[in-house]
Amino acid sequence: MHTYHTPLDLVRSRHVENPVVCARPDRVEHASHWFQDNFPGEVLYAVKANPSPWILQTLHKAGTRFYDVASIPEIKLVTEHCPGARMAFLHPVKSRESIRRAYYEFGVRIFALDCEAELQKILEETNYAKDVTLIVRLAVSNDGAIFSLAGKFGVPAYEAAELIRKARAHAEELGVSFHVGSQCMQPSAYRSAMLEASRLIVQAGVTVDIVDVGGGFPSIYPGMTPPPMDDYIAAIEDAFEEMMVLENADLWCEPGRALVAECESVLTRVELVKGDALYLNDGAYGRLFDAAHAKWPFPVRLHRAKGEPGAQTASFRLFGPTCDSMDAIPGPFELPADIAEGDIIEIGMLGAYGTALATDFNGFGTVERVAVEDMPWPSMFEVQPDQADDTEATVISFARARRRRPRLRRRA
């Protein structure tokens, strides 16, 4: 990757035709070191957040040795880019072929499940192996998170004790896990989930070797400043102390967003200005899926190749390059009022679920990747305690904004 000091240096030094992903390797290193130094247990990177080889290599170099994978292609990526890494197959629903290949071809020994049928699949496809670690995923409240992951996975409380007991009978090591929802704004959500897990373990009447508190650790976006990361660690540490029947249990977490959100932005070119609508060369089918579909408030700034933009700003809507009416990002985004064709908008904080969700739809998949050395947006690892928003109000207002989603239109 070629390195520029800043994205503006790039824009001023050469022609930029396709979207450019700006990588910030120091942000990945910083986040990886922070979690290794501060989380009182094992840290697994949730590969789904961003499977780019440069990120896997940087995390590995920075000491991350344990990965949460959800498919054989993710297992292959980790095998290739993170030599010697340990992997946990934490997707609660796996194909029989992928269980078999993970166990026999790639040496994976850790598998998640949230129902008896999946337990049976794991047992059958590993030939009732005696060396598996089974992680029972529990359904927990996602009320403290901006992005709920409830409703698809997790054994409900009324069935959990029975499943924990059944898994215990076949596991060399047994764990429980949950996901409090992505971009969790309230550290207390981890505590509530852990105490609920404790209650279910007591009800099951068995010992548990691992408590995996999942992902959900937040990053800072406009209008969404969470409490400091230290508060999350403190809440988890306190709750772990309080959990019953866990004398020798290990603590794990699986951050995705928090490890990589800060490390990528995209430079996208304005192809046309039509009133308050800016037509760009990246969009909902590229790196801006969450901006379009989840109304995620990413930070923006303008880079102009020649001359300076005016000081006055205006509100704009963004449209991506495809012929699809859903390729629209209502924003609004505040940008210089004199924005013009050929200007470059940098959209920040796209490291998590930006690159990972991008497609080639309509032929618009080509991107370049460069490294840059600046970090213009606030980092979660440097936030001051008094900067946090009223997190309950933030969660409610984002949920409301999302319910006001415009009607979807058919593809053009």
Ligand X SMILES: Cc1ncc(COP(=O)(O)O)c(C=O)c1O
Can you give the binding site for ligand X, defined by CB under 6 A?
46, 48-49, 68, 90, 149, 179, 182, 214-217, 254-258, 352
| Interatomic CA distance for residues 192 and 9, integer angstroms | 47
255 or 320: CB nearest ligand X: 255
Category of 342 on φ-ψ map: left (φ > 0), alpha (ψ -120 to 50) or beta: left
What is the closest distance, in whole angstroms, from the C-beta atom of residue 120 to ligand X in the complex? 21
What is the closest distance, in whole angstroms, from the C-beta atom of residue 257 to ligand X in the complex? 4
370, 376, 381, 385 alpha-carbon torsion, rounded to 10°:
-170
50 or 322: CB nearest ligand X: 50
Q: Work out whether strand 133-137 and strand 145-147 pair parallel, antiparallel, or are unpaired.
A: unpaired
Q: Which residue has the tokens 């994978």?
A: 69
94 or 257: CB nearest ligand X: 257
* Residue whose CB is nearest to ligand X in the complex, by number: 215
What is the closest distance, in whole angstroms, from the C-beta atom of residue 57 to ligand X in the complex? 20
| Interatomic CA distance for residues 118 and 116, integer angstroms | 5
Q: Which residue(s) pair with 166 in the sheet? A: none
| Interatomic CA distance for residues 316 and 278, integer angstroms | 7
215 or 331: CB nearest ligand X: 215
226 or 348: CB nearest ligand X: 226
25 or 216: CB nearest ligand X: 216
What is the closest distance, in whole angstroms, from the C-beta atom of residue 137 to ligand X in the complex? 7
What is the closest distance, in whole angstroms, from the C-beta atom of residue 299 to ligand X in the complex? 18
What is the closest distance, in whole angstroms, from the C-beta atom of residue 217 to ligand X in the complex? 6
Q: Which residue has the tokens 């992951």?
A: 149
Instruction: Give me the helices (H) in 169-221, please.
Output: 188-204
Distances (CA, A) of 159 to 92, 163, 165, 215: 15, 7, 10, 23
**Cα dihedral sign, 369-375-378-379:** positive
